[in-house]
Structure 1
């Protein structure tokens, strides 16, 4: 059901807006509209421009809270505004210092690791680095060379060059080392090594002792830095943990204040001679609006005007659904198609009843239905999944129809069928012959559902004051009379009675079809929209209307036949379970293979539950919703949930 709404205009002194939001509006759910848009006909109104002072602090609080474990992100503690701001700023200062310290340590570690990486391959050079770096007449180069070129250097160049290459380390690809040469030969030697793709490594003069000593010292310093980083992280975690409760309380307080302050984005201002007033516009439920008006009756600084939704309101009211708890999960299906607009029928209860009923027919089995009922109920209890609640509700009807069809885990001889066995029951119809009874019942039920959709369409058209749509649409009065007359005629013929008189049939079929054929001009006439026929000309109109009428008649037939799938799934369930019982040896009189029976039931239940759920939803959307439902409503979105403080 759709909650009735009232449109409110709230005004008072500009400086008083925070008090009003905190004292009154936080107690009620109100869907705020942009006051400048709603009051566009008024003069001398301006936007309420003011920067949110809580936004930056709230962002810090949210960032800090995100660092907390999930189990520490809730609290019942409350802080004042001053304490909340001090908590966040104090934590920002402390964490800022620790983060700065950690950043410096990370930079130091990175520098140490780069130095260690440079000197690591040269640990086999058992010579004091400072003595090498202080050479005056000998030049040296640290670096690496691929094994391929190193072998060529040894074979062809080494004996004839004025250099000594000291090999320090090697792997599968490179050889690391250092070469020495006289200072006056360095250009020539460098050219030779460059031609061999020697990659030079620049070793700074910061190392002391041998490369092995320098590497060991660097590793010790890296470990010391790692320990300092761990200690810094421990301090950060402890600081957050110790402040967790206050931090979460501060975040909640700032969220509330920031949310309240953001009301200004939707407010407008107007000036009198002495003072500036704010104006807020929005929607409240009738019940909340009455309570709110009573709550503020003694407040001299607050004025509220409540208007009927049809008077002086530019926007369509938002839609807020309120259904009995058992039908509430089915709102998921309604919202998937589209939220009903304010003047439409909320189809939630209709969907709940018809979806569960059709599901029960198509998935009729006492045992499998009970398993689905229990499984869905447990899943909804622990996970709060709407789909689980829907399946659990549908399973009730599965159990009911399981008794009617006498099916228990596929066995049809365990419990007696209170009505019939879907696969065996047949009905003889005039002009047609023998036909499965379930198919006949499914088509009859489909005709009833289509007529129900037409009634709902007429109600929606009346609510929206669309007289032409109410009278001449294929899904309203004209369509209802034609399709209803067709249904009555078929029932009379198939039950062995005579068809209505020719004159009655001409009136009941001819006039509604003529009204549907002339829907557009008739609608223009009754709603006084100018010329009855479109500007394209009468000839083109009649040709187009003829083919549209043919499409209407075809859709009536296809929509009706579409419900045959309801009976088809009931029959297929019995057939599939018969195959399972045959494979499990339950039909031949021999020993039964219970693992096959159990696994077969699991397979059929899972497969059919999925397919039936999809097919029933298709019937709801295409055969029902398409007849009466627009689904173009806008959701009711309160700026604060009721009771949120």
Structure 2
């Protein structure tokens, strides 16, 4: 069902806008429209330029709630507006102090880690770092040298050097270490090592003991700082947890206040020079029942003026669409929204989709056991997680169970319960001219023809509502198309059932006249509308174009009808696949392998269930929706939708 919408204009003193939003609008769903853009006939309208004062504390509250390990707490709603903002400000101050302390510790850890990484390659050296860096008559150089150059040093130059090189850590690329050289030979030795691309590494003079002892000391400092960081994190968690109820209550209340204040983005203000007072104007769409309740609530409030604009959609565009369906059909609104929201004067196809989708799914996937699994699992997911697709699967599972009883199939076994109707694989029907044909194919085509006729009726209703003369009377899905296709269906049914078919005169009338209407639908529409418009492309091109459109129409009737054969095909294939599963498990020999039976049912339920679900949706969109549904509407989006969340 589509809720009927009305357009409201609400005005009053500018200082009263927050009270109106809090006391009245918060109780009802209203989609706001830009007042300056909508109220074109009203002069001297100005926008609001105020900054939302609740947005920053709300962001802080949401940030703090996201940091809580368990955000599910009972909210404290006893604080007033000033107390909430003051609490968040004080909490933010304490939080920032702890975060700053944590960042300083992390920076200290990074510095210590960097020093440790520099010193680590020299760990094997048995030298006192503080002493060797304080020698008066000897110099020490720490660094690294490429492994290839180090081999050259050892082979060719080491004996000529008046220096000693102590090796530290060696890897595949570099040799780390240090060399000692007397002050007198330092220049020559430094030059030789420089030519070998020796990279000097500066070490601090603050280290005491050997490199290994210095590394141990640095590691202890890092571990101590890490413990301090964990302590600060615990303090932050404890601080936030102690304020969790207040934060939750503040977040909820600030969401309402921020949402109400944001009404100014869509509102307008108007200055009254005589009264020297500003007024606000809010306009938008509201459901008919909400409008009645809203008017009743505000009738004694002399500060609020409400004007209901009748027939506004005729002049200022289309109203939004709000769907309201029973709970059983509610999940299927997802399929409708995926295709497009219905316009305000269009039929809501949700109930039609719910009935046809589940019915066709059950026919294509008829099995009591697998249907029960879909019903139970989908139902649990829908109740716990509120997933619309899970609700659809659960309802489709009910129809799978229904057709499972009709087909006599339980987890693929067809000897457990009797078939209340037929067995899809073996049931055959004798038809004139065609011969033997699977019964489910015949029923599927007949069902498809009935759905096509029903979709044409929906198209006629939608076109009449939209005052679309051509599509209501002269199109291939209008009255002319309904007569043509309906007569064809009647003729086929009479012939296949062995009854007498209509005579030539009736065929000429009920088939010939609609064909002519299809061909001349544009001139006929102009004639009905008294629009004396000439054929622009010329008569020859008009008939050529009309011929190909007529050919396409006839082809679409045929292809749309045959498309429903897939219902019977999947019903037969499902039964055949389960026969293969039972054959592989050895069930035909009386001693089935239950592991194979279970795995086979799981695989078939998942893969074939997915394929059938997609195929049914394709039938909905391409064979049914394409005949009567446009989906050109826009969804109703109330400004206070956060309250429902």
TM-score (norm 1): 0.94
For the pair 1:615 / 2:623, whether they are aligned, the reply is no
Using the alignment, how far apart are the partners of 1:3 and 1:345 within structure 2? 11
Deviates more, 1:622-631 or 1:240-249: 240-249
Stretch deviating more after TM superposition (29-38 or 407-416): 407-416
Alignment of 1:196-595 (within 5 A): 196-273=196-273, 274=275, 275-310=277-312, 314-529=316-531, 531-533=533-535, 535-587=536-588, 590-595=590-595
**Cα drift, residue 449 of structure 1:** 0.3
Counterparts of 1:408 and 1:210 in 2: how far apart (Å)?
79
* Distance change (3 Å), C-alpha of 1:54 and 1:540: same
Give per-residue Cα distances to partners, 1:42-67, cap 9 Å, x unaligned: 22112122111222222222222211
> In 2 relative to 1, CA 405–224 (structure 1 residues): closer, same or farther, beyond 3 Å?
closer
Preserved contact between residue 355 and residue 617 of structure 1 (Cα < 8 Å):
yes
Change (3 A) 1:358 1:532: farther
1:50 aligns with 2:42: no
State the shift of 1:371 in Å.
3.2
* Structure 1 residues 177 and 402: alpha-carbon distance in aligned structure 2, compared to 1, 3 A threshold: closer
Distance 2:526 2:448 in 1: 32
SS at match of 2:510: helix
Deviations 1:333-368 (A, max 9, x none): 111111112111111100111111112222222333
- 1:143-188 CA distance string (max 9 Å, x none): 1223332232122112112323233444454332222334454333
Q: Which residue of 2 aligns with 1:635?
A: 635
Measured against aligned partners, the alpha-carbon deviations of 1:267-323 in whole angstroms (never above 9, x if no partner) come to: 011222222211111111111110000000111111001123445651311111111
* Deviation at residue 523 of structure 1 after TM alignment: 2.5
Moved more, 463-472 or 128-137: 128-137
Determine the C-alpha separation between the residues in 1 that align with 2:603 and 2:208: 74
| 2:67 aligned counterpart, secondary structure | coil
- Shifted more, 65-74 versus 442-451: the winner is 65-74
* Matched positions, count: 643
**How much has 1:78 moved relative to structure 2?**
4.2
Distance 2:74 2:524 in 1: 63
Deviation string 1:539-564 (CA, Å, 9 cap, x unpaired) is 22221121011001000000001111
Work out whether residues 520 and 532 of structure 1, in 8 Å CA contact, stay in contact via their aligned partners in 2. no
Aligned residue for 1:160?
160
Question: C-alpha separation between the residues in 2 aligned to 1:605 and 1:138?
Answer: 83
Aligned to 1:94: 94
- Unpaired runs of 5+ residues, structure 2, are none
Using the TM superposition, give the Cα deviation of residue 436 of structure 1 relative to its aligned residue in structure 2, in angstroms: 2.0
Q: Is the contact made by 1:5 and 1:309 (CA closer than 8 Å) also made in structure 2? A: no
Cα offset for 1:239? 1.2
Deviation at 1:621?
A: 0.9
Deviates more, 1:110-119 or 1:542-551: 110-119
Q: Tell me the C-alpha RMSD between the 2 structures.
A: 2.3
Secondary structure of the residue aligned to 1:399 is helix
Aligned partners of 1:357, 1:209: CA distance in 2, in Å?
A: 84
CA offsets per residue over residues 82-132 of structure 1, 9 Å max, x none?
A: 111111111111111111111212222222222233333434555544443
Question: Following the alignment from structure 1 to structure 2, what is the Cα–Cα distance between the partners of residues 265 and 536?
Answer: 50
* Structure 1 counterpart SS, 2:555: helix
Helix, strand or coil at the partner of 1:356: helix
Distance 1:514 1:47 in 2: 57
Tell me whether 591-600 or 479-488 shows the greater mean CA deviation.
591-600
Deviates more, 1:109-118 or 1:627-636: 109-118
CA 1:171–1:505 in structure 2 vs 1: closer, same or farther (change >3 Å)? Answer: closer
Change over 3 Å in CA distance of 1:130–1:644 after alignment to 2: same
The structure-2 alpha-carbon separation of the partners of 1:62 and 1:585, relative to structure 1 and needing over 3 Å to count, comes to closer
- Offset of 1:374 from its aligned partner? 2.7
How far apart are the structure 2 equivalents of 1:620 and 1:501?
Answer: 35
Change (3 A) 1:628 1:78: farther
8 Å CA contact 1:208–1:214 kept in 2: the answer is yes
73 and 319 in structure 1: CA distance in 2 versus 1, 3 angstrom threshold: farther
Question: Alpha-carbon deviation of 1:257?
Answer: 1.3
Confirm or deny: 8 A CA contact 2:342 2:633 kept in the other structure: yes
1:78–1:253 contact (8 Å) kept in structure 2: no
531 and 185 in structure 1: CA distance in 2 versus 1, 3 angstrom threshold? farther
Distance of 1:224 and 1:593 partners within structure 2: 62
Contact 2:382 2:388 in 1 (8 A): yes
Superimposed CA distance per residue, residues 362-415 of structure 1 (whole angstroms, 9 cap, x where no aligned partner): 222233333333333233233332222222222222222233333333343433
CA, structure 1 residues 126+489, in 2 after alignment: closer, same or farther (shift >3 Å)?
Answer: closer
Instruction: Please tell me whether the aligned partners of residues 374 and 397 of structure 2 are also in contact (alpha carbons under 8 angstroms).
Output: yes
1:97-136 alignment, distance < 5 Å: 97-136=97-136
Q: Is the alpha carbon distance of 1:592 and 1:253 closer, same or farther for their aligned partners in structure 2, counting shifts above 3 Å? A: closer
C-alpha separation in 2, matches of 1:436 and 1:570? 11
* Helix, strand or coil at the partner of 2:12: strand
Structure 1 portions without partners, runs of 5+: none
Which residue number in structure 2 is paired with residue 85 of structure 1?
85
Q: Which moved more, 1:397-406 or 1:100-109?
A: 397-406
Does the CA-based 8 Å contact 1:334-1:347 persist in structure 2?
yes
Residue 625 of structure 2 aligns with which residue?
Answer: 625
- How much does 1:265 deviate? 0.4
Residue aligned with 2:10, SS: strand
Runs of 4+ in 1 over 6 A off after TM superposition: 642-645
Structure 1 residue 29, shift from structure 2 partner? 0.9
Structure 1 residue matching 2:316: 3-state secondary structure: coil
